[in-house]
Structures are given as C-alpha cells and as structure tokens.
Chain A
Amino acid sequence: MTVYLIRRLMQSALVVLAMTVILFLGVYAIGDPVEILISPEADQMERERAIAALGLDRPLWEQYVAFLGNALRGDLGRSFVFNEPALKLILQKMPATLELALAATVFAIVLGLPLGLIAGLKPEALYSRVIMAGSILGFSLPTFWVGLMLIMVFAVQLGWLPSTGRGPTAEFLGVQWSFLTADGLRYLIMPALNLSLFKISLVIRLTRAGVRETVLMDYVKFARAKGLSQNRVIFVHVLKNILIPVVTVTALEFGSTIAFSVVTESVFAWPGMGKLIIDSIYVLDRPVIVAYLMIIVFMFIVLNFTVDVLYSVLDPRVRLQDQKA
C-alpha cells in the first residue's frame, strides 16, 4: 500500500512537470500579449518598454526556467493585466466557483438520485420515459443556450430571479459565501441549476442502470423472499450497492464542473475562476492562464488519488497494491 502510494505520488509529480512544459509552449504559441494589451496609440519605444516590463524580451527557455524556479517557491507569476500575483487572483475567485460547483453537485444528487431510482424501478411507466427523455435533453442541449433561456424565462419574463451576477455575500471562515444570505441564494439558483443539468442527467442514467441491474440480483430476490419491506429492500440493499459508481462519477465530475464552469460563469456573469480564465485568454494574460491550468491539473490529480483511496474504503474487494505486471 505505501509503496503504491509513493509510486502514485511520483507519477503525479511527473505529470505536473510535463504539464508545465506543454502549457508554457502552448501559451507561447498563441499570439503576442503585448499586441493585445498595449494601447493602439503607443509608439515603437513604448512597445519595447512594455515587452521588457513583462519579461517577454528574454528567450523562451529562460522564461520557462524562471517560471519553474518561482513556481517551486509557490509563486506562479504576476498577472499582466491586474499587476497582482496570479495565484492570489485565482484563489480570490475560487470560493465563488466552488460554491457554484457544490450547489450544482447538490442539485445533481438531490434531483438525480430519486429520479433515477424512480426510472429504474418502473422502467416502462410513462413518467419514467419522460424522465429519461428529459435526461437526453440535459445531456445534449448546449449550456450557454439553456442559460440564456433560463434568464429569458425566469428573469426577463417572470421576473422571479435576478438575471446575472453574484448577490450579497456573508463571511464564513474568512471567505465570502452567497448561500448564507437569502438574496444571495436567489442569485445562486439559476447558474447552479444550469451548471448541474448535465450532472443531473448523468446521475439519473447511472442510478437507473444500477437499479435495473441490481434488482435482478439474487440477494435482492432473497431479501424480498425474506419478506423485507419494499423500502428496506430499495434503500438499504439496492441503493447502497449502486452508490459506488455514482460516488466515483460525481467526484470526478466535480473536477470537470469546476474546470468547465467557464460557460455558465460567462453567461451569468458569475465572478468565478472560469470567468477569470476566459477574460485572461481573451487578453493573453499568460501568467493567469498558466496558473489556472496548473491548479486544474493539480486538482484532477488530487481527485483521482482520493477516489482511488475512497474505493478501497467503500468496497473491501478493491485493494490498493503494487501491481507488478
């Protein structure tokens, strides 16, 4: 087990290092930040000054080595646009995105599990077919379009919810959260729902497939034969056993929810990391782009790692061991 963990950690470190190279080359290949950032009125001398000020006059390998050295000390560079540390900017925006992603995950579980369970237990019923048709829509409709439709219906036509932005926040553990205020919650509902549509559909389909598979198992039949109540059979024997894939996927999806909240955040002007990265790409703010992607890479590695460990806890058949293939 320990050997396995150490090996996994070393692999992860290599992945991070490889990503820095790919990122640096990739970001370097797209355009010239000075052309984007500089005032059109600037003359040649001012351009040269700006290039030097941003450290872009040095050769690529030198920039990379400097970046790597600073990164090891926890400094991912200063934003060209905001003139503040890139890491600080991203961490400032992180609570907003985390809150959105968490709310979306809650939606996915609260709505997805029961709906999937219903659809799995009575697969032929009309309401089950409606649920499954709905989940296809949830998969296939583009997020930005659904987002705009939600705004048009609930903000513009009905006027029930605010159209965009993040409402008032309250402080908790030194961070600003909007779910702690009633008005802040109203701002949270639409973007969270929009972000969770895909996940809800995913959870519905996973749950349904799991339920249909499990109800045919011998131990379920046996439980029924024993005379256990329907509720006990479903919530103890069936649900418990279908939770493993659902937990795995939800955890992995949490990473992509954060990474791909970009679209929802742009449509709802939600001031999170996703919006920051889009704005940064638009003006080629290289330090922020690199820092953001590094954080995402790091997050995926940690999540995968955690899921692997959680597996062994949830399912005693899975053992983490050094596989010698």
Chain B
Amino acid sequence: MMTAGLRSLLLAAACSCAMAGAAAAQNLTIAVGAPVTSIDPHYHNLSPNNAMAAHIFDGLADTDSRARLVPGLAESWRTIDDTTWEFRLRRGVTFHNGSDFTAEDVAFTISRAPNVPNSPSGFGIFTRPIAEVQVVDPHTVRIRTRAVYPLLAVDLSNVMILDKETHENATTEDFNSGKVAVGTGPYRFVRFAPGDRIELERNDTYWGGRQPWQRVNYRIIVNEAARTAALLAGDVDLIDQVPTADIARLKQDQRLNVSEVVGLRIIYLALDHSRTDGSPFVSGPNGEALDRNPLKDVRVRRALSIAIDRNAIVSRVMEGAAIPAGQFLPEGTYSHVPGLNPPAFDPDGARRLLAEAGYPNGLRLAIHGPNDRYVNDARIIQAIGSFWTRIGVRTQVEAMPWTTFIARAGRQEFSAFLVGWGSSTGEASSPLRSLVATFNREKGFGASNRGRYSNPELDRLLEQALATVDDEKREKLLQDATRVAMEDVAIIPIHIQKNVWAMKRGLRHDARADELTRAMDVRPGG
C-alpha cells in the first residue's frame, strides 16, 4: 500500500517535471549585465537599449551577427544619384496594434528620432546627413542627403521605425509604461520593470517568421558572480558578458554551452599629442621636468608599442577572451587591412628606439585607466606598466572609476591612458573619424580623440573615403587611412575583445560581433 502511494507520488512528481520541461521549452530567460534604461527606441542611443529595441521594433535595414548589412523593413535600396537613395519597403507588414506600415511611417520616424525631449544621447547623429525625405508611394521612399554620404543605410539600421498614427506625440514615459510600446518586431512588449526585467511575448504574425519562444524574460543582473550563479542554479537560460575567469570552468560544465566570437571592440592606449612642451605625467629618468613632449616623437610611441607583449596580455590577463590587435578591426570585416599585423614584442628594439630618440636613460611616465569599464581593465594597465618599466620607462599605474576617469581624460589631463572603442557599424570609418581624425566641431571629427592626434594626410584620406560611394574604392581609402594611423602610432592598439555568452545545453546561440544580446539569436537544439 505504502509503496503504491509512494509510486503514484513519484509518478506525479515525474509528470509535473515533464510538464514543467515542456513549458520551459517555450520560454526563454536571458540575464544581461548592462541595464536597459528605456523602451523608447529613440531616447537613449545605448547598446543595451538598442538590443532590446530590436526585439520590439525593426529598422529599414538590419545587421547580421558579423555586422554586415541585411534588409529589414526595406526589402532593397539603391542610389539614384550621388545624394539620392531609394528604399523599397516590405509590403503587408503591420504594427502590433494592427496599424499598417507605410512610407509615411518612415518619414515620421526620421523627423522624430532627433527630437526626443531630454535625450542624453540622441539619434540625431544618424539622421543629420538627411536633407529631405520624399514619399513616392506607400511602399517607396526617397531620401536626399546634404552631401555624398555612403553610410546612410548603415546609419539608418540604428533607427527603429515607429508608426505615425500611434506615436505622434508619444512620450518616452508612454513607451516605458507600455501604452505605445508597439513596433513591427518579432516580439510584443508585455512589461518593463526598470533595473529588473523586460517581459516579452511572441508576435505570431511577424513578417520574418515565427520565433521559437512563446515568452521571453529579459532580466538584468549587473553583478557578474550573481549572473553566473543564476545560470548555474538553472534560474536563467542564457547569460552574456561571462567573466573571463569563469569561461574555462563553464566550458567544462556538462550542463552548459559557451558561445563566443571576436568582437568589434578594440582596447587601446591613447597618448597625449596635444602638448609640445612636456606632458603632465611624463618626466626624465630622475623625475626632472622635460622641455618637450617625448610622445610627439614617433620613435618613442613605437618603442612603447613594441615593448608590450600582446600575446601575454591576451593569454594571461584576458585568459584567451581576446585577440592581439594591430589595427582597429579584426579580420573578416569591411576595411580590415590585410597584412597589418599586431606589432611584434621586441624590448631590445624598443630600448634602441628610445636611445635614438634621445632618451638612452629612459623616462618616467604614469599610465591611467578605468577599473570598472572594460574587461580586466585595471589588470591590463598593470601589465603594460611592467612591460614599459622593463625597457627603462619607469611607469606608475593609476586605475580609477570610469565616472572620474572619463571626465579627466576628456579634459586632456593624462599622458597615456587606456580606453576602448566599439565600432558598432563594423567598418573603419567609425574609429578613424572619432579617434584619430583632427578634432573639428564643424566636421564632427575627432569627438573622442582625447589625445588630440592630428595628421593632415589621414584627414584627407578619410574625407575622401566619406565622399566615395563605391564600396571597393572606399574600402581602399579607409585601409590607406588606417595604415597611416598605425604606422604613425596615432594610438597603441592592444587587443580586440571576444564576446562570450554561456547557456544551458540544448540551446544554440549565434554570437554577435556587436555585443548585442537578443532572443532572436537563440534557438532550441544543439
């Protein structure tokens, strides 16, 4: 009797387990490390927000996991002349509330995107090149740019299309509360709890086909250890930003899978090019002030670059979650320069170069960096400091919180400092324009050129590239500009990060180079 009771109890337990399993197969819980701050896709241009927006909304174009442009709400596009683009829109697409998607919506979106009140980082940077939007018919839009602008489709892939009828006068709060959180995307909005989670459910009438997950729970767990623990405890199915120290252990765990891909984020050192008569954190070998800035001498910059053993940093500090870098972008991307390899580790050569530049007894220098921004950032500058000390450049290492660091770096207070750059568009015009082009407000060049590097030759090549529509010719010009920057050691590239995700066995994830974590990249099986 008792055994029978026990058996039925066990059976019931087994059944409920199986049922829970079936239900779980329909649902996906993701834990991400960076908070989503808004559902309004035009409020804050921030990777986590853009990743969330891609679930609910669509752009005219989209990018695949290798950051290549693919059609989105526009089936195709072509240039009619140098400044006019024609986009042919997908037919039969509806928003989640049933409203039709038409050319008017594109025109409305382009007028709304740059004008969201209080936006701390707007989408105007993507729409500024546009002079006029012309609605030809409900499924054709012509966009005229102010000047030749080959990146228009790339830029517009960042701008999510909204519905004119629904979103005219919609505020950011209306999106966050869910009142107008409707798009054309693969998932419908259910609930947003700031700092905690976003709940989504499948859009069964999605134009791109049905997604495998009935419900998606997109949770925010900022603490790295807690995120990993949540995966190990089985509370979440997939986590992003796996800490480098955990990767090896998670790979060995039979219950888990790890996906990784070389990303588009380069970690590099910026150097002070702005001063000619001495730099604040560089002094002679005995601490005496110098009357010139040694960092203006390309030999010193090259010496500092080849003194760094990039392979050691990648294998020891990054535990394999990066590749050594000799230029902005990894192999396989548009405008990567073939044959421009990471500088070889050569401490003797570095000492010779220093002596040639007039510093046979070395220098003293302080290197600065954040300690809470990039993967293992403080440990990277410590390693670099010891490499430099070995060639006679006695280096003092100072790591500080990002909030303090970036404000000081922006005021050109440092001599040598570690920063990172994610080229979300996956081509070299983004880093060239922001990091090494001469600081110029009117052209919008050098906005993040905190060392104030300036090279007329590079500026000329870049401007020429940005005015070249032909993709092949433009790629050649961008490669030339990259080569000029690297040969002149405008910055010292260290490594390019790998993006790492971990998930339950039984899930397949297409790892994205642009670091975005999206439910659309996760499938059952595998």
| Choice from A30, A39, A53, A155 contacting B45 with Cβ under 8 Å | A39
Q: Is the CB of B195 within 8 A of A276?
A: yes
Please provide the chain B residues from 189 to 237 with a CB less than 8 Å away from any CB of chain A in the complex: 193-197, 219-223, 225-226, 229-230, 232-235
CA–CA, A251 to B308, complex, Å?
56
Interface contact B221-A82, CB-CB below 8 Å: no
Interface residues of A in 78-95 (CB under 8 A from B): 78, 80-84, 89, 92-93
The B398-412 residues at the A interface (CB cut-off 8 A) are: 402-404, 406-407, 410
Q: How far is the CA of A148 from the CA of B444 in the complex (A)?
A: 46
Measured as residues with beta carbon below 8 angstroms from the partner, the interface class of chain B is 35 or more
**In the bound complex, do residue B37 and residue A81 qualify as a contact, i.e. CB atoms below 8 Å apart?**
yes
Q: Digit string of B108-127 for contact with A (CB within 8 Å is 1, else 0)?
A: 00000000011111101100
Task: Known A31-B404, A42-B447, A53-B120; judge A268-B195 contact (CB<8 A).
Answer: no
Q: Could you say which residues of chain A place their CB within 8 Å of the CB of B499? A: none
User: At the interface, yes or no: B422 with Cβ under 8 Å from chain A?
Assistant: yes
Q: Does A50 contact B (CB under 8 A)?
A: yes
Knowing A83-B173, A151-B233, A266-B222, say if A40 contacts B195 (CB, 8 Å): no
Residues of B close to A46: CB separation below 8 A = 121-122, 124-125
Flag whether A212 is at the interface (Cβ < 8 A): no
For residue A58, CB closer than 8 A to chain B, the reply is: no
In the complex formed, the residue of B with least CB distance to A271 is B196
A271 contact set on B, CB distance < 8 A: 193, 195-197
Check if A57 is an interface residue, CB within 8 A of chain B: no
> What count of chain A residues pass the 8 Å CB interface test?
54
Check A39/B121 contact, CB under 8 A, given A45-B441, A83-B173. Answer: yes
> Quick one: which of B122, B176, B230, B430 contacts A50, CB cutoff 8 A?
B122
A42 contacts B45, CB within 8 Å? yes
> In the assembly, what is the distance between CA of A125 and CA of B422, in Å?
63
A278 CB contacts on chain B under 8 angstroms? 222
Nearest chain B CB to A247's CB is how many angstroms away?
34
Q: Given contacts A46-B125, A81-B37, A279-B195, is CB(A148)–CB(B45) below 8 Å?
A: no
**Is the C-beta of A35 less than 8 angstroms from some C-beta in chain B?**
yes
Whether A32 touches B120, Cβ cut-off 8 Å, given contacts A40-B422, A82-B194, A275-B195, is no
A156 to B236, alpha carbons, bound, how many Å? 12
Task: Please choose the segment from A13-21, A162-170, A203-211 that sits at the chain B interface, where 4 or more of its residues have CB less than 8 A away.
Answer: A162-170
Of the candidates A156, A163, A165, A282, the one whose C-beta lies within 8 Å of that of B403 is: A282
Query: Is the CB–CB distance between A44 and B173 below 8 Å?
Result: no
CA of A162 to CA of B125 in the docked complex: distance in angstroms? 43
The one of A34, A39, A155 in contact with B229, judged by C-beta atoms closer than 8 angstroms, is A155
Question: A41 near B125 (CB under 8 angstroms)?
Answer: yes
- For residue B448, CB closer than 8 A to chain A, the reply is yes
* Nearest chain B residue, comparing its CB with the CB of A37: B120
Mask of B220-257 contacts with A, CB within 8 angstroms, 1/0: 11110110011011110000000000000000000000
Contact with B along A249-287 (1 / 0, CB 8 A): 000000000000000001111010001101101101000
* Cross-chain contact B403 with A164 (CB below 8 angstroms): no
Determine how close the nearest CB of chain A comes to the CB of B114; give it in whole angstroms: 9
Q: Which residue of A lies closest to B232 (CB)?
A: A156
Residues B114-166 near A (CB distance < 8 A): 117-122, 124-125, 128
A194 to chain B minimum Cβ distance, whole angstroms, is 12
Chain A residue nearest to B219 (CB atoms) is A165
Q: Is B484 an interface residue (CB 8 A)?
A: no
The residue in chain A whose Cβ has the minimal distance to the Cβ of B196 is: A271
Q: Which 9 A-B pairs have the closest CB atoms?
A: A43-B444, A271-B196, A37-B120, A31-B403, A155-B233, A163-B233, A39-B45, A32-B407, A44-B441
Sample (15) of A-B pairs whose CB atoms are under 8 Å apart: A30-B404, A38-B120, A40-B434, A41-B430, A41-B434, A43-B447, A44-B444, A54-B118, A93-B195, A163-B226, A164-B235, A165-B197, A166-B196, A267-B226, A279-B35
Interface of A toward B, CB cutoff 8 Å: 30-47, 49-50, 53-54, 78, 80-84, 89, 92-93, 148, 151-152, 155-156, 159, 162-166, 266-269, 271, 275-276, 278-279, 281-282, 284
Extra pairs beyond A35-B407, A78-B118 (12, CB < 8 Å): A36-B403, A41-B424, A80-B118, A81-B37, A82-B194, A84-B172, A84-B176, A155-B233, A162-B233, A163-B230, A275-B222, A281-B403
**Chain B contacts to A: CB under 8 angstroms:** 35, 37-38, 40, 43-46, 117-122, 124-125, 128, 172-173, 176, 193-197, 219-223, 225-226, 229-230, 232-235, 372, 402-404, 406-407, 410, 421-422, 424, 430, 434, 441, 444-445, 447-448
